[in-house]
Chain A
Amino acid sequence: MSCCNHSHGVASGCCGTAENDSEITPEQWAEVHAIIARHKETPGALITVLREAQGVVGYFPIELLDCIAEGMNIPASDVFGVVSFYSLFSLNPKGRHTIKVCTGTACYVKGIREVINRIASEYGIREGETTEDRRFDLEGVRCLGACGLAPVMVVGEDTHGAVSADRVLELLKKYT
Chain B
Amino acid sequence: MTVQHDNACCCTAARRLTVDDLAVMREEYAARLHAPNMRHIFICGGTGCHATGSIAVKNRLVEEVAARGLTDTVRIVETGCNGFCALGPLLLVHPENIFYQKLAADDIPELVEEQLVHGRQVERLLYRDPQTKKPIPHFGDIPFFARQQPWTLRNKGVINPESVEDYIGRDGYRGTARALLEMTPESIVQEMLTSGLRGRGGAGFPTGMKWQFAQRSAGDVKYVLCNADEGDPGAFMDRSILEADPHAVLEGMIIAARAINAYQGYIYCRSEYPLAVRRVQIAIEQARALGLLGHNILGSGFDFDVEIYQGAGAFVCGEETALMRSIEGKRGMPRPRPPFPAHKGLWEKPTILNNVETLANVAQIMLNGGAWYASVGTEKSKGTKVFALSGDVNNIGLVEVPMGTPLRSIVYDIGGGIPKKRKLKAVQLGGPSGGCIPEAYLDVIIDYEEIAKVGAIMGSGGAIVMDDRTCMVDMARFFLDFIQDESCGKCTPCREGTRRQLELLEKICAGKGEDGDIELLEELSSMITESALCGLGQTASNPVLSALRYFRDEFDAHIKQKKCPAKRCAALLDFTVNADKCKKCGKCFQTCPVQAIAWQKKEVAVINRDICVRCMSCFEACPFDAID
Binding site for B on A (CB under 8 A): 43-48, 50-51, 78, 81-82, 85-89, 103-106, 108-111, 113-114, 117-118, 121-122, 141-150, 152, 159-161, 164-166
B391 contacts the other chain (CB 8 A): yes
**Of B273, B309, B390, the contact of A147 (CB 8 Å cutoff):** B390
Residue of A nearest to B276 (CB): A145
In the complex the two chains form, is B310's CB within 8 Å of A51's CB? yes
In the complex the two chains form, is A142's CB within 8 Å of B48's CB? no
Instruction: List, in ascending order, chain A residues with CB within 8 A of B397's CB.
Output: 148
B447 contacts the other chain (CB 8 A): no
- Known contacts A88-B271, A111-B620, A159-B50, A148 near B86 by CB under 8 Å: yes
The 7 closest A-B pairs by CB, nearest first: A148-B85, A104-B233, A159-B51, A86-B312, A147-B390, A46-B329, A87-B313
Q: Would you mind naming 19 contact pairs between A and B with Cβ atoms under 8 Å apart?
A: A45-B329, A47-B312, A47-B329, A88-B271, A103-B482, A105-B234, A105-B428, A105-B464, A114-B615, A114-B617, A117-B615, A118-B615, A142-B486, A143-B231, A143-B235, A147-B462, A164-B620, A165-B617, A165-B620
In the complex the two chains form, is B52's CB within 8 Å of A149's CB? yes
In the complex the two chains form, is A110's CB within 8 Å of B233's CB? no
Binding site for A on B (CB under 8 A): 1, 3, 47-48, 50-52, 84-86, 88, 230-236, 239, 270-273, 309-315, 326-332, 347, 388, 390-392, 396-397, 428, 431, 462, 464, 466, 470, 478-479, 482, 485-486, 488, 590-591, 593-594, 613, 615-617, 620-621
CB distance from B57 to the nearest CB of A (A): 15
CB distance from B601 to the nearest CB of A (A): 20
Inter-chain CA distance A96–B371, complex, in Å, is 56
- Known contacts A85-B332, A109-B392, A160-B51, A147 near B85 by CB under 8 Å: yes
Residue of A nearest to B230 (CB): A145
Instruction: List, in ascending order, chain A residues with CB within 8 A of B478's CB.
Output: 105, 108
Inter-chain CA distance A97–B559, complex, in Å, is 42
In the complex the two chains form, is B331's CB within 8 Å of A145's CB? no
Inter-chain CA distance A144–B488, complex, in Å, is 20
In the complex the two chains form, is B390's CB within 8 Å of A148's CB? yes
Inter-chain CA distance A78–B327, complex, in Å, is 15
Instruction: List, in ascending order, chain A residues with CB within 8 A of B590's CB.
Output: 166
Inter-chain CA distance A82–B594, complex, in Å, is 42
Instruction: List, in ascending order, chain A residues with CB within 8 A of B272's CB.
Output: 141, 143-145
Inter-chain CA distance A144–B272, complex, in Å, is 6
Residue of A nearest to B485 (CB): A142
Instruction: List, in ascending order, chain A residues with CB within 8 A of B331's CB.
Output: 81-82, 85
Instruction: List, in ascending order, chain B residues with CB within 8 A of A164's CB.
Output: 620
Q: Most B CB atoms within 10 A — which of A114, A141, A164? A: A114
Inter-chain CA distance A143–B313, complex, in Å, is 11
- Known contacts A105-B431, A117-B616, A166 near B3 by CB under 8 Å: no
Instruction: List, in ascending order, chain B residues with CB within 8 A of A104's CB.
Output: 233-234
In the complex the two chains form, is A143's CB within 8 Å of B620's CB? no
- Known contacts A105-B428, A109-B466, A142-B486, A87 near B314 by CB under 8 Å: yes
In the complex the two chains form, is A109's CB within 8 Å of B464's CB? yes
Residue of A nearest to B428 (CB): A105
Instruction: List, in ascending order, chain A residues with CB within 8 A of B428's CB.
Output: 105
Residue of B nearest to A84 (CB): B331
